[in-house]
Amino acid sequence: MRNCFWVAWATVHELVFERFFHLLVFFSVASLGMSALLGSLTYTEQAKLTLDFMLGTTHLSLVLFALFIGISLFHREFSVGSVYLVLSKPVSRASFLAGKFLGQAFVQAVVVFAMTALALLIRLQFDVPLYFGPIAQAGLLIFLESLVVAAITYFFAVNAGAVLTAVSTLALFGLCHFREPVTRELAGSSVTAWSLLRPLIPDLEVLNLKNLASYGVSLNGTEFFYVFVYALSTMAFFLILGLISFQHKDIGNS
Amino acid sequence: MTESVSLIDVTKLYRLSLLRRKIGVEGLSLSAESGQILGVLGPNGSGKSTTFKLLLGFLRPTSGNILVRGEPLSTATRRHIGYLPENPRFPGFIFADQALKYYGHLHGLSGAVLDKKCAELLELVGLKHAAHERVRGFSKGMGQRLAIAQSLLNDPSLLIFDEPMSGLDPVGRIEVRDLIRKVHERFPQATILLSTHILSDAENLCSHIALLRKGKLVRHGAMTEVLKSPAQNFQVVIRGVSAEARPKWEKEWGAIDGPMGLQLRVHGVKDLERCLHLAQDEGDEVVDVSSEKVSLERALFQETAEVTP
């Protein structure tokens, strides 16, 4: 556990100095600014549209962050070879992977907190209700979804190269969001492959509270608890799959 | 002397595809005792790095056993191992002393003990002045010395140095070579496994060598044994040979004049006995008899030539 903490510590420091991270932060801030600008273009519902754009931007930024930072963190360790210095110490592979994940999760939490806080601050400029609860809920679920995406990324990164990881994660992410529409579309037809596949694909749309938040609607305590547990279990499922694969992987295979 | 590390009939096959396999090492049995510096030598693809990665648990053997201090390999056994990878790379953001502290924490060290250890090691590797500099600004030689320092944090009983002199300029090579000697003096009980392509470095540093070729152990033994002429050639120096007798010595043993007398090259023990008897019979003085050494390069060239089909 202590080693896990130290790997997480190093990961946070590494990310703070990561050029790609700076680029993503710049993209996020620019997107938030753009959201405020786009909201001002409409005559009515300016506050709602601004909030819509801001939550959408936060969601997109966090998903991109989870995906690309996850790939970069994991694959660079191997391509550069710094993984050998860590794993030659009495550090288990599980501690290493979990530490990387926790470090990334911490930075993602900071980013989502900052972006949600900024969205709330901008909303304060309008003469409308703040919707603190719904916006905080939406922000928290965006964070949890980004953790699920990071866990999926780690699972693929353990088993494949950077490009294949990105493609596979994005494909699964898409399927996770369009699971129910696809099921509705295929209802009545005898597509057995989909019916077999469907239970294995998590439904990430349940974590999407962006639209509700922009109307000031939030989930009640029980609903939120179920969604929270669902997100955490999905994340744990992919992370554990990744850990199992990593345990059996040959490192430095030539 | 206690056995520090042993590989027992270890085979590692790399899976290239569903049906194709490539041999990393095959039936490798090798051991090293505490205090030895074992040079693991061989051409590219001979299995040197595979052997080291197996010892560190990066690769899992297809078959066979690996023991470190008599225990099967596990995360816990890595407490006794210090590792210098080929081309070590540190996270760029980190300062030299921070890097050592980070790796020290991973070994379970902390507080004043860790601070003291880091300061000592930075001094040992000659990087005390650069303790607060970012690693990304380090030269290759400085990086290598810092990597050696991190490998010593846990007072290891087994040190694994993978190509420690690779990519260094001549000055850097000498520095690292001297540093390895210093490390050996500081940790005399530690076993050092060292792979290198530079045979003169191996000849200078190693007490033992293991020669690998195509994943198999071709030769393993003390350096003095390996450097002995395989045909047991001797150099004999005699004095007081008469002018009449000289052509006989020249014809038989290729005698030439040397600073101490007439130098002869004698092939094998029986020939040596004959030579010494003759010198005694003729009343010549035998000044010196020494076993002829060959260079490591020549010895290994002979070994690899012998196993080439």
Contact B75 A92 (CB under 8 A): yes
pLDDT category at B308 given cuts 50, 70, 90 is very low
pLDDT greater than 50 at residue B59:
yes
Instruction: Report chain B residues whose CB lies below 8 A from the CB of A3.
Output: 105-106
DSSP state of A125: T
Contact B91 A254 (CB under 8 A): no
Residues whose CB is less than 8 angstroms from the CB of residue A94 and which lie 6 or more positions away in sequence, other chains included: A243, A246, A247
Output the pLDDT for position B229: 55
Instruction: Report chain B residues whose CB lies below 8 A from the CB of A253.
Output: 14, 59
Closest chain B C-alpha to A15 CA, distance in angstroms:
9
> pTM above the 0.90 mark?
no
Instruction: Report chain A residues whose CB lies below 8 A from the CB of B49.
Output: 252, 254
Contact A13 B93 (CB under 8 A): yes
pLDDT tens, residue by residue, B38-52: 999 888 888 899 999
pLDDT tens, residue by residue, B202-241: 888 899 999 888 889 988 888 887 776 566 778 889 988 8
Query: Average pLDDT, stretch B134-144?
Result: 88
Average pLDDT of adjacent 10-residue blocks, chain A of 254 residues: 89 84 80 76 76 86 90 85 90 93 93 87 80 88 94 92 92 88 75 76 85 82 91 94 91 70
pLDDT, averaged across chain B: 86
pLDDT category at B306 given cuts 50, 70, 90 is low
B83 to chain A: closest CA residue: A88
Share of chain B above pLDDT 90, in %: 28
pLDDT category at B159 given cuts 50, 70, 90 is very high
CA angle A94, B151, B181 (to 5 degrees): 160
Share of chain B above pLDDT 70, in %: 93
CA distance B203 to B209: 9
The residue of B56, B89, B106, B161 whose CB has the most chain A CBs within 10 angstroms, and thus the best one to mutate to test that interface, is B106
The answer to whether residues B199 and B119 touch, using CB atoms and an 8 Å cutoff, is: no
Output the pLDDT for position B242: 85
Contact B85 A88 (CB under 8 A): yes
CB atoms within 10 A of CB B56: 25
pLDDT tens, residue by residue, B115-129: 999 999 999 888 888
Cβ-based contacts under 8 A for chains A and B: 87
Instruction: Report chain B residues whose CB lies below 8 A from the CB of A245.
Output: none
B58 to chain A: closest CA residue: A251
Output the pLDDT for position B309: 44
Output the pLDDT for position B82: 92
pLDDT category at B261 given cuts 50, 70, 90 is confident
From the list B19, B42, B15, B16, the residue with the least C-alpha distance to B211 is B42
From the list B98, B96, B170, the residue with the least C-alpha distance to B137 is B96
Output the pLDDT for position A230: 92
- Give the nearest partner residue to B89 out of A81, A88, A89, using CB atoms: A81
Question: If DSSP states are collapsed to H, E and C, what string results for chain B?
Answer: CCEEEEEEEEEEEEECCCCCEEEEEEEEEEEEECCCEEEEECCCCCCHHHHHHHHCCCCCCCEEEEEECCEECCCHHHHHEEEECCCCCCCCCCEHHHHHHHHHHHCCCCHHHHHHHHHHHHHHCCCHHHCCCEHHHCCHHHHHHHHHHHHCCCCCCEEEEECCCCCCCHHHHHHHHHHHHHHHHHCCCCEEEEECCCHHHHHHHCCEEEEEECCEEEEEEEHHHHHECCCCEEEEEEECCCCCCHHHHHHHHCCEECCCCEEEEEECHHHHHHHHHHHHHCCCEEEEEEECECCHHHHHHHHHHHHCC
Query: Average pLDDT, stretch B290-306?
Result: 66
A252 to chain B: closest CA residue: B58
Sign of CA dihedral A12, A16, A20, A25: positive
CA distance A162 to A150: 14
CA angle A51, A41, A214 (to 5 degrees): 15
ipTM: 0.82
